[in-house]
Amino acid sequence: MNTFQPSKRQSLISAVKLGVSVATLRFGTPALASDDKKLMIGYWPIAAGLPFFTAMERGLFKDAGVTVEAVKFASPSQVVEAMMAGRIDGCANGVAITALALADAQEPGNIKFTCVNFANDKYVLDEVIVPIGSTVKNISDLSGKKVACGPGINNVTLAKAVMLGGGAKDVRVVELPIAQILPSLSAGQVEAAYILEPTGVIGTQEKISRTLATGVVTKYVLKDNLPWIGGAAALTATTLKNKASLVPGYLSGYSAGLAYVRKEGLKANKYLTGYTAIEGELAKAVPLSGYIDHTEVKPTDVHALQKLFDIFAEKKVFENSISANALFYK
């Protein structure tokens, strides 16, 4: 399928839908993060950032000869805004890939994915859960019901697509803050929820909910066993140019963090402490994401991401199709 970049006006419209500041996009990119001897990397405090947290805590960037400062943000849209404004050099895994794509559409070539995170039936991130006492057996049983999801058009779009793909008709999708999803289920205010971990683990541990289906975006939206590539680590083009001497060491350190996560599995979750609210017994149970490093990207991965982008274009979240291939760091 031929793809092209949206116009500036179209990018601004879509950015509003995904929660990215119009002011940031409209007024362009001021000077880059000033310290040219270190990289400032933004992160959203969720489990998908584990390779970055691991590299920070194990000193893997330092071992590679690079100074990296981790900068915490309250939402993925704030991370993207800071990248576009030049206040940070890039982001860790877990930042919404659709928001990054829209930001790049405003300034084509400005953002390059260095590592993407994905979910499927093996690497579980996305689920549909129901109250623990619910008699619902299949997603199709949710026809005509009220289903919750997290905040933002990204969650709403995927929740609706999962319900439709699973055979549920006339579903009312209710957008809620993450912290309100389990209480709403418990109170009977909604009959199910499309969630991202660790909400499912918490619901099970507290005997509030049970899992109805896992890997639901792969299964019911993308299909063909394609992974759902939902987040990415990225660097800005300005950083790649102006701090080129720091990039090889940074990528090496990040890859070493990823290698540790893959080797140690759930044991690596100890590095979630301090970067996220996930700790203790919960950390031991949170599933790992799948990751594709910049040296590992295959045509099938690009195809999977392109299908996601095309679905967002079909749903009019993206005003036009965006090229997935152009966004990968090579």
DSSP of 150-177, one letter per residue? -SSHHHHHHHHHHHHHTT--S-EEEE--
Radius of gyration of the chain (CA): 19
**With bands split at pLDDT 50, 70 and 90, how would you rate the model's confidence at 162?**
very high
Largest CA distance in the chain: 58
Strands 192-196 and 146-149: parallel
Helix (H, G, I), strand (E, B) or coil at 292: strand
Tell me the C-alpha distance between 175 and 16, whole Å.
16
Tell me what the mean pLDDT of segment 109-127 comes to: 95
pLDDT tens sequence across 178-215: 899 999 999 999 999 999 999 999 999 999 999 999 99
- Looking at residue 74, its pLDDT comes to 86
Tell me the C-alpha distance between 130 and 141, whole Å.
11
Tell me the C-alpha distance between 90 and 238, whole Å.
10
Tell me what the mean pLDDT of segment 261-268 comes to: 97
Q: How does 237-268 read in b/e, with b if 16+ C-beta sit within 10 Å?
A: bbbbeebeebbebbbbbbbbbbebbeeeeeeb
For the 126-214 domain, the top CATH level (class) is: alpha beta
Tell me the C-alpha distance between 170 and 156, whole Å.
14
Tell me what the mean pLDDT of segment 109-120 comes to: 97
Angle at 285 between CA 70 and CA 259, to 5 degrees: 50
Sheet-wide strand order for 228-236: 67-72, 38-43, 90-96, 228-236, 111-119, 290-293
Q: Which CATH superfamily is domain 8-120+227-327 in?
A: Periplasmic binding protein-like II (3.40.190.10)
Q: Are 279 and 273 in contact (CB under 8 A)?
A: yes
Tell me what the mean pLDDT of segment 132-149 comes to: 98
Neighbours of 144 (CB within 10 A): 11
Q: Are 48 and 231 in contact (CB under 8 A)?
A: yes
pLDDT tens sequence across 2-37: 333 334 434 433 443 454 433 333 333 334 466 788
pTM of the model: 0.85
Neighbours of 189 (CB within 10 A): 13
- Looking at residue 33, its pLDDT comes to 65
How many Cα atoms sit within 13 Å of 131 on the Cβ side?
15
Same fold flag, 8-120+227-327 and 126-214: yes
Q: Are 271 and 97 in contact (CB under 8 A)?
A: no
| Residue boundaries of the structural domains of the chain | 8-120+227-327, 126-214
Strand partners, 206: none
More confident residue, 88 or 150: 88
Tokens at residue 223, please? Answer: 């299909």
* Closest among 153, 21, 133 to 82, alpha carbons compared: 21
